[in-house]
Amino acid sequence: MSLDHQPTSQNGIHSLTRTSLDIRRGQTPQTGDGHSYADDIEEPPQPGLGAHSVLIDYPDSSQANRRPPCYRERPWEIATGYDTRLFAVCGEYVCTAGYVTRVWNLRTGESLMTLPHGDTVKVTALAFKPARNVDDEGKRLWLGTNAGEIQEVDIPTRSVIHALPNAHSRGEIVKIYRYASEMWSLDDDGKLHVWPTDETGSPSLKHGHQSFNVPKGHSSSLVMGNQLWMATGREIRVFQPSSDANTTFQLFQKPLSQPNVGEITSSATISSQADRIYFGHADGKVTVYSRKTYVCLDIVNVSLYKISSLAGIGDYLWAGYNSGMVYVYDTTLHPWTVKKDWHAHDKPVASIVVDQSSVWKLDRLQVASLGIDNTIRLWDGMLKDDWLEAQMQHHDTEFCDFREITALVMTWNAGAVKPTSLRNDERDANFFRDLFCSEEPPDLLVFGFQELVDLEDKKVTAKSFFKSKKKDSSDSEHMSHQYRAWRDHLIRSLEEHMPTSEPYTLVQTANMVGLFTCVFVKACERSRIHHINAAEIKRGMGGLHGNKGALVMRFMFDDSSLCFINCHLAAGQSQTINRNNDVTAILESDPLPVLADNLDYSDMFVGGGDGSMILDHEICILNGDLNYRIDAMPRDTVVNAVRSNNFAKLIERDQLLLSRKRNPGFRLRAFNEWPITFAPTYKYDVGTDNYDSSEKKRSPAWCDRLLYRGIGRVKQLDYRRHEVRVSDHRPVTGRFKLRVKTVDSERRAKTWDKCKREFEVVKQRVGAEAK
C-alpha cells in the first residue's frame, strides 16, 4: 500500500511546487478492509467560483511543513546594519535603501557598495533597470528620492552614472515599477511618469517621459500586463498608461472595493494564474480579483494577524505577517491549504520579493524577505527539500513494505481513585474485562489517565508545588504507589482477560503530577518497537508546575514514528483561551530528543521535522481531559438535551469545535476527531448516573476526548464512552488502524537518485522558461 499522488505536470514552476507538496491528492490509501483511511475525515465544502464568492473556512493547515526553506549553502541571511524598509533583488545582487544605499553580493555575502545620500536626502523607491541582454540584468539600479530626484547607479563601477534632479518636481517618489522594457515612477502627489526605451533598448533618464495623474495616497500597487493596479485604503483603482490617445487611462470612474475587509496592505500575482490579482488586508483577509472582469472572485480569511506582504511563486501565494511568520498557501483548493509556515523574522515581515532572474543567473529560484529586524533572509522558491520529500512519499511503494496494526487508546480522568475502588460496584469491576473482550485483541494498548493524584487536596498540591530540594519521601512514595497500583492492575487485567496465546508486554510508563501513560504491545511485536522516549510539558501556574500539561511518549514502530500525547488542560467554563494557549504551548514545544545524526529524518518524520516536536511524527494520537465545555447554554437546558439525546444541539456549542472553526491559529486544527455520538462525560456525582448536583452544579460537557493525526496512516474505527461510576468523569476509548512501514535502504537509494534526476529536469525547464 502507498500514498498515491498525481504525476508531476510538465508545465513550469507552478507544476513543480504544487505537485511536489500536495501529498493529499489522488487516490486515498486503502486499508485492509477496503475502506479509505480518509473515510472519517470531513471533506471541505466546494463553493462555486463567481463574483463575490466568499470562503468562510480558514486555510487547512493540518499538513503544513514547518521546515524553513533555507539553502544548504551560505549566505542564508544578510544584516543590513541600519533601519530600512526598502529593498530589491536581482540575481547575485541585493540592494537596500534609505538615507544610505547598500548593495551586497548574494554569492558571498560581501558588501559591494555603500552610497550615503546626506542627512536630508532619503531614497524612497528603487528598482533594477531592465537590460536588453538578459545577462546584463541587475547591473543598473534606479533610485527615487524624497526630493523627487531619480538616480541611475551602476553596481559594477559603484557609481552614479546619471541623475535627474527634477524627475518629479512636486514631491517624493513613492514607487518605481518595471514594466517590460520600461520604467514607471510614481510620486506622492499622484504623478505617474512612464520612461520608454531609447535606441539601446533600455529606458533612459536622458530622454522624455509621458505623464499621467492618479489619486494621491498609496498603500500598495503592482503592474500586471500593461495595467497599474493601485490600492488606497480599502479602494482599488485600475489604470492603463499608453501613448495611444484613444486608450482609456482610468478604466473605472468608481473604485473597486469590498465591504467588511480591512485596509489593503499588499498585493501580488501568481504566474500560473494569469487572470487573478491578490490583495492582502490588515485584518488577515485576502481579496481576489479577476483581471478580465474586474469582479471580486473570493474573500478569504487566512489569519487573525495583519498581512504585511504578499508574493506569488509558481502556484503558491507567500504571505508575510506582522508576527514575523511566513506562510505559503495553495490557492487552488477550497478552502486554501497551508503548505508551509515558519518563523522567518524576529519582528514583522516588511517585504517579500521573488527574483525570477536568479533562475538563470544563480541556478536557483530565490525568494528574499526583509524584516523589521533589519535582516534579509534568502529562501528556496522551488522548495527543493519539500519537493524531494514529497516525491519520495509518492514513490514509497518502491522502497517500503507496509503493514497494518491495531491500537486501542483509552483516556480517563480517574479522580484519584485506586484500582481497588472498581470492586465496589459489580458494573465497574467488569470494566476492563468488557473492554478487552469486546473486540479482537489489538496489537497496541495505550492508557492515558488524568488526576491519579487528588489535585483538589490542598496538602498534596502544595507539596508538589513548593517542595524543597530535599524531597518529601512519603509524598513521593504515595504518588509513585498510585501509578504502580494502576500499572499492576492493568498487567493483571491483561493476563486475566486476554488470550494466553498472545500475551502482552509493557513498553513504557510515564507520569507527572496525576498524569499517567501506560503502553502495552503484544509480545510478538515488541522487537519492532525502538527509540522510545517520553517527556513532560508543564502548564500549571504559568508553565512552572505539572498539575496541568501533557505527557508525551514517542517510539518507532518498524520505521514509522508514533506519538501519544496525554493532556490535562486548564479547567473552568470561562477558560477557553487558557486551554487554547495550553494546546499551543504543548504542540509548539520541542521536548523530545533528536535521534542520532546518521538517521534520515525524512523517512521517519513529517513536516520537515526532526522528531523533537509532536507534529513531527507520522502518527499522533492525543487524549485527555481537555476540559472544553459547552458555551452559552443554561445547565438545565444542557441536561434536558442530553436526556432527549439531542447531542447535535450541544455539539454546536462545544468550545473545542468552535475554536477549530473560528480561530485559524488553533493548533488542534491539525488533528481530526471522530464524530461524537455519546453523552457528555463530565461531570457526574461519584457513584451515580446523575450529573453534578453539588452547590456548583457544573454543566455537562465533553471534557474527555481523543483526537488523531496522520493522513493516509491512521483510521479510527470507533469512539465510545464507558459507564464507570467511581469517578466524576466517564472513560472514553477509541480503536484505530495504523499503517506502519519498513524501509529497504538499497531500494530507497535507487528511488532517491531517480527523484533527484526528476527534480533537475523540472529545474532546467523552469530556468529556460524564466530566461
pLDDT digit string, tens, across residues 569-617: 999 999 999 999 999 999 999 999 998 766 677 889 998 889 999 999 9
Q: Which of 49-63, 88-102, 132-146, 532-546 has the lowest mean pLDDT?
A: 49-63
DSSP-derived letter for residue 206 is T
pLDDT confidence of residue 7: 30
When pLDDT is cut at 50, 70 and 90, the band that residue 12 belongs to is: very low
Assign 27 to helix, strand or coil. coil
C-alpha cell at 493: 487485567
What count of Cα atoms within 13 Å lies in the side-chain half-sphere of residue 637?
Answer: 8
Q: Which of 215-219, 403-407, 746-750 has the lowest mean pLDDT?
A: 215-219
Name the most confidently modeled range: 4-18, 125-139, 504-518.
504-518
pLDDT confidence of residue 28: 34
C-alpha cell at 444: 497496541
Give dist(CA 427, CA 421) in Å, integer.
Answer: 12
Distance of CA 15 to the CA centre of its chain: 21
Phi, psi of 430 (to 5 degrees): -95, 10
When pLDDT is cut at 50, 70 and 90, the band that residue 562 belongs to is: very high
227 has a pLDDT exceeding 70: yes
When pLDDT is cut at 50, 70 and 90, the band that residue 48 belongs to is: very low
DSSP-derived letter for residue 490 is H
Average of per-residue pLDDT values in the chain: 87
Give dist(CA 452, CA 512) in Å, integer.
Answer: 10
1 has a pLDDT exceeding 50: no
- Helix pair angle (384-394, 12-21), 10° resolution: 60
Distance of CA 145 to the CA centre of its chain: 39
For residue 512, list its beta bridge partners.
515
Cα-only R_g, the chain: 30
* Percentage of residues of the chain with pLDDT beyond 90: 72
Distance of CA 375 to the CA centre of its chain: 23
Give dist(CA 771, CA 768) in Å, integer.
Answer: 5
C-alpha cell at 669: 486544527
pLDDT confidence of residue 314: 78
When pLDDT is cut at 50, 70 and 90, the band that residue 542 belongs to is: low
When pLDDT is cut at 50, 70 and 90, the band that residue 480 belongs to is: confident
272 has a pLDDT exceeding 50: yes
Q: What is the pLDDT of residues 660-716, one digit of tens each?
A: 988 888 999 999 999 999 999 999 999 999 999 999 999 999 999 999 999 889 999
pLDDT confidence of residue 486: 96
pLDDT confidence of residue 247: 77
22 has a pLDDT exceeding 80: no
More confident residue, 444 or 313: 444
pLDDT confidence of residue 149: 97
What's the rounded mean pLDDT across residues 365-393? 94
472 has a pLDDT exceeding 70: no
Exposure letters 736-754 (e unless 16+ CB within 10 A, then b) = bbbbbbebeeeebeebbee
pLDDT confidence of residue 598: 62
CB of 123 within 8 A of CB of 144? yes
633 has a pLDDT exceeding 80: yes
Is the pTM above the cut of 0.85? no
When pLDDT is cut at 50, 70 and 90, the band that residue 47 belongs to is: very low
When pLDDT is cut at 50, 70 and 90, the band that residue 334 belongs to is: confident
pLDDT confidence of residue 52: 35
C-alpha cell at 125: 523607491
When pLDDT is cut at 50, 70 and 90, the band that residue 477 belongs to is: low
> Which helix (DSSP H) or strand (DSSP E) does residue 706 occupy?
strand 704-709
